[in-house]
Amino acid sequence: LTKQMIEAGACAIQVENQVSDAKQCGHQAGKVTVPHEDFISKLNAIRYAFLELGVEDGIIVARTDSEGASLTQKIPVSNEPGDLASKYIDFIEMEEVTLENAKENDSLLKHNGKLVRPVRLPNGLYQFR
């Protein structure tokens, strides 16, 4: 379905992590979400669909129960390699930096053994891969 939508001209795809037959409004309790691994697999599948069809700048709107998934910070804190925060961070475009070329208000992370800075779009949001 995603490929058909892209072929029809869609430049953005929205996907949610709530189970479709148990959806709740964002402010209500009792939301049921799909397993994190399933949601990440869906995001990857959408990204690959864009790439397979030659759309390098396709937009994925990933609506999540961010509070329930512990993703309420702009960049989540990873406590161990492979945890949910680490998988989320893997989607953010990063550039390697040194302390000498870091700017005053940069957000710096140690990721995969390197000191990196998330790439920001002109509007200040983080760029995703």
* 8 and 67 housed in the same domain: yes
Q: Facing residues of 61 across strands?
A: 14
Sign of the torsion angle spanned by Cα atoms 64, 69, 73, 75: negative
109 and 90 fall within a common domain? yes
Q: Indicate whether 51 and 32 sit together in one domain.
A: yes
pTM greater than the 0.75 cutoff: no
Range of the domain at 4: 1-72
From the centroid of its chain, how far is CA 77? Answer: 14
Q: Are residues 89 and 28 in the same domain?
A: no
Same domain flag for 83 and 121: yes
Both structure tokens of 115: 């000191």
pLDDT at 45 over 80: yes
Same domain, 44 and 82: no
pLDDT by residue (tens digit) across 77-113? 788 888 888 888 888 899 999 999 998 888 898 888 8
**Which residues are known catalytic residues?**
25
